[in-house]
Structure formats: structure tokens, C-alpha cells
Structure 1
Amino acid sequence: MIQRSSNKESLGSRLFAIANNLILILIALACLLPFINIIASSFSSTQEMMERRFMLFPTTFSLDAYKYILSTSTIFKGLAVSIGTTAVGTVVSMILTSTMAYGLSRKYLPGRNVINFLVVFSLLFSGGMIPTFLVVKSMGIINSYWALILPVAINAFNMIIMRNFFQALPDDLEESAKIDGCNDLGIFFKIMLPLALPSIATISLFYAVAYWNTYMNAILYLTDSAKWPIQVLLRQIVIVSSGMQAEGASVDIVPPAQTIKMAVIVVATVPMLICYPFVQKHFNKGALMGAVKG
């Protein structure tokens, strides 16, 4: 009797695993196929793009859309601006977020509950576009790259995840370090930060993606078009290409606007996809450990 029950359970477990894997594969394909279509469409020819609405591989390979996008040196300057803003902004955000998260994770910090309440309050309510613009203007960083970094230097959600990660670490580590004569900065840099590498990798990816996708802040705070990041320039390319086709420009000179849109998505997405594998092994651990303990 027991053996039969065990066999039934094992068979049921195997069937559940098979069904679960099939469902996950279908979900993965549902997420992956549209992106494959975007890549294939960006490399398709003018005629094929007009004839086929959906494709997984272009029958006629063409680089016209990418040649059009990369035909001006402005796009490379925009890439440099986005890369620099993403790199500097991520470092600044991680320094501010990690130090604030560690401080708020210590139960003996005076006024800790009040500050935590203000952080959560800012997560639910914000001043809005106009008050934020006035603050940025009063700081004197209009038309400066710092306008893309400082207003969003600390994200409340990311800070809460990292604070919870520090709270999950044993208090005995800090007590032992203090007995050995280590001060607060030494405890933070020599003990806590090395243990928080999974959380740091995860939050860094969140910040990097946010800085790379900067669009609205650039429109609001950068009056000089030469300082625009890649996202704004790519949007301008799409608008210009659509306008030229509406005016009757030659298709040989300007590829279809739809093909250019697909190429723009690829150019804007691939750099972050390249960075993701380097932090993937830390991603799940960092997000889960920061979200379990409140």
C-alpha cells in the first residue's frame, strides 16, 4: 500500500514538473518572440517590411536602418553621454543608497523611524514635475549632466530593498567588529559591503537601466541639444524619418519608419542586455534577500 502511494506521488510530481516546464517555456517564448521579431524587422529590406507584418528571420538582409541611424556623428556623442551618465549616476546612486540603507538598518540610529516614514512617504507621494523643476533650477544645474543624476540619485524602493538586506545580516558581526576595535566606517566598508555584493549588483542594475533610459529629465533640464542622451536622439531620428517620408522623400534614402523604429529599439536595448549576464547570478539572491525581511 505504501509503495503504491509512493509511486502515485512520484508520477504526479513528474507530471506536474512536465506541465510546469511547458507553461514556463510558453511564457518564455511569448516574451522572446516579439523581441526576435523586432531584431529581424530591423535587418529586413524595405519591400519585405511592407509585405510581412511578423517575421523571425529576414529573407532579405539589409542594414539600411542602421546605416541611417549611424549616419551622423551626433548619435555617437549621444551614446557617450548615456554611457557616462549611466556609469557616474550608478556609482553616485549606489554610494548614497548603500550608506543611507545601512544607517537606517541600525536600530540604535536616533530618529530612524521618522526617516523611514519619510522615505516610504516619498515612495507614495511626490512633489510633481513643476516643484522638481524649480528645485533643479534653484540648484543651478539646468543644462548640466548633473540634472540627469542628482534629482533621481536615491530611489526609495531600491533603498528599502537594500536596507532590508542589511537588516537580515546578523548583529553579531557588528558587535564582534566593535570588540576588535573597528569603527563604524570600517564595519561598513570591510564587513557589510562585501556581504552585500548580491544586493549591490541587483540595485546597480536597477539604477543603470533607469539612467540608460533617461528621457523625460533630459527633455526638461537640458536646453542644449548637443547634450542629449541616446534615448532622446533616437526619438528625434524616428520623428525626422517619419516626417521625411510624409513629405515624399525617396525610400532609397530613408528606410521605412517602422524599420527605423525597430532598429532604434535594438540600439537602445542591447547595451543593457550585454550588462545583464554579469549580474544575473546575483540578481535573484539580492532581490529576494532584500524583500523577505521588512
Structure 2
Amino acid sequence: MKAKDKIVPDPIDGLPAMVVGRWVTEEKHQIIKRYIDASWAARQKFNSQRTYIDLFAGTGRVKIKHTQTFLDGGPLAAWRIAQQKRGAFSDFFVADAHPGYLAACDARLRKCGAPVRSCVGRADLTADWVVPQLSKSGLHLALLDPFNAGHLHFSIIRKLAKLPSIDIVVHLSTGDIQRNIASGLQVQQSPLDNFAPGWRDVVRAQSSKQAMRSAFVQHWIHLVEQTGLQVCDMMYPVRNSKESTMYWLCLLSRHPLAEKLWRIACQFETRRLF
């Protein structure tokens, strides 16, 4: 999360909470919690390690903009829903580039009894911290939920994909991609370079904005497939108050069961990207 984002104290614990739009939290966390709940039986079969990983963890609690409503952020929501079933997480890894945000998240998770380990740093660097601690015989779930596409370096996915059994839920910021494609073609460096290396070569040949965005996303999907993971074609659209799609939640996985459970989690409103 970014240091300039608005922070307010949570009246429950006095720790900082980030102010976010309703669409940032409610729908997204509903899908993630449904997926964790649906996959509890699969996690239960892995005795060696069952991990949750969030490299953009933030403060752990958020306040909904223009309301007095405070809600759990991604890591706390994930821990609480997993605790309701026997397939709880054995290890909980969180990281964030902002030390104060991560300290708040860590404290909240510890208070809930989570087996948390935390590390301050950019996600492309903390990925190197977490991967050596992950068992190749374990089952891992990672949430990659940055505020913009430029923060999601593709190297993060490449590093996590080394694990044989890992599911990755990705915030695919189609709005951010759309805003940066045209300008990115005019400059030597663009935030999109981190997200999808080599994207200019496939986008330049397109004649319309819609075609450019489609080609960009297909290029990113191809990069994911080169790691051995597959992108589920069912993606959940998260919309703002004006019903404009802000981003898509998508699942990267190797196992057909993970894709089946993702479809179940998204079944109350599912869209195909193409």
C-alpha cells in the first residue's frame, strides 16, 4: 500500500486502518472467503504445510469511504474464515512495503492467534523471503492484491510458481492497464513493464484500445502459462459505485480441483473476460 493513502484509527483497537472504496473490500473479500471455505477439505489433506501468503497485506483493517464502517482487510478475513473449518492455515506470511501498516496487520493477526510471520519490503523482494520457507509438499494460497498493476512485478508470480501446489489469486487491474497502455507506448519505461515484460511487442500491432487491452491481457496469460500455472477463464469483475469495472479477480493454479472450487466461489456473478 502507498504511504499517501488516507489512514484513520480503528475505534476497536486504535491501530491504523486504511480508508478504501466499498468496491475495494466487500466484493473482493467475499470471493476470497468463499474460495477459502470451499477449499478447506483440500487443505486438510496436507499435513506438512498449509499456508496463506499476502505480500501486499496493508493494515489488516479498513474503513469504507463515506461511512463509519470498519471491516477486516484481506489477511484477517482469510484467517477468520479458515478458522471456522478444520483445514486452517498452519503458516501465515504477510508483507508490505510500509512498516507501520505491516506492524498493525501483524499485531492484529497475532491477537487472533494466527501463526504469523511478517517482513517489510516490496513484494518483488519479499517473495524471496517467503519462498524458501515454503514446503514443496505443502499446499499454498497466495493473494496478490496491489493498488496498481505496476507494483505486481511478474517476477513475483514466477517465484511463487516454483511451488508444485500453489494457488494464486490475482488482482488484475484492467482499468489501470487501459489507462497506461497508450502512454506506455510513447515512453521508454512504463509501470506496465513490471507487470507484463515484453508487452509492447504484442500491443503495437493492434489498431484499437480494446484490441490493445485484449492483446496485453493475452500476453500476460501467456507469461503465466510459461511458469506452469494456468489462468482460470472465469474472472470476477469488481465494480465501483458507478458500475464501472475496476478490476478482475482471477485464479492461477495447476490443479483442476482448484479451478472447480474457484468457479463455485464466483458462481453468484461470473463473467468471461473474452
Q: Which TM class, normalised by the smaller chain length?
A: under 0.3
Relative contact order higher in (CA < 8 Å, ≥ 6 apart): 1
Normalising by structure 2, we get a TM-score of 0.23
Larger Rg computed on CA atoms: 1
Please report the TM-score for the alignment, with normalisation by the length of structure 1: 0.22
Structure 1 or 2: more helix by fraction: 1
Query: Which structure carries more strand by proportion?
Result: 2
